[in-house]
Amino acid sequence: MVVEYERTLDDLIWFNQFHIAHSPSIKRQILLWRISFSLLTVFLSLGVMYLISRNKPLSYLAYTISVIGGFFIFLIYPSLNRSSIIRRTRKLLSEGDNKPILGHQTITVLPEGLFCKTYSGESRLNWSSIHKIEGDKTYIFLYISAINAIIIPKRAFLTKKSEEEFMNLIDIYRRLI
């Protein structure tokens, strides 16, 4: 079975977002940063209000505003982080020549593995190279390392049946190893 598609910058960005959303270590790190920035917001706002009030005791309103500000930062941090990841990924991929990872992709499913062909060359992966298969409503990710995957957009399949045939074939061949 052969699957052909054009890999775009948006495909790579989607994979990065998917991976970050599903990586336990990154999720822990993001939670830690959310909590840290929230607490920093509370303490900095209290410090500024204390300096503005000329060393007088702060009112309950000042504490309330600081806590609400910290809570607000806690709530918006995921979307700020997501937009930052998108912006950084776009910037990284705009540097230099990215023809090897963007553009036309051809993936052929063979009994011995996957044969991948791009603008820059060809590669062959044994089934043992694929240690995890994940996906969502838009993509299939064939993980070949902890942070790298073959990204197959579901738009590459003409029908839902052809997508299912592709996945069944991969499942059959992977079981044989």
- Mean pLDDT over residues 81-102, rounded? 83
Tens of pLDDT, residue by residue over 41-71, are 999 998 888 888 877 787 888 889 999 999 9
| Element housing 149 (H / E) | strand 149-153
Pure H helices in 53-119: 60-94
The CATH class for the domain spanning 2-8+98-175 reads: mainly beta
Three-state SS at 23: coil
Q: How large is the average pLDDT for residues 128-156?
A: 93
Task: Please tell me whether the overall predicted TM-score, pTM, comes out greater than 0.85 for this model.
Answer: no
pLDDT at 29: 92
Backbone φ and ψ of 133, nearest 5°:
-120, 125
Domain limits, the chain: 2-8+98-175, 11-94
CA gap 102, 85 in Å, rounded: 19
Residue 152: phi, psi to the nearest 5? -120, 110
**Is residue 156 predicted with pLDDT exceeding 80?**
yes
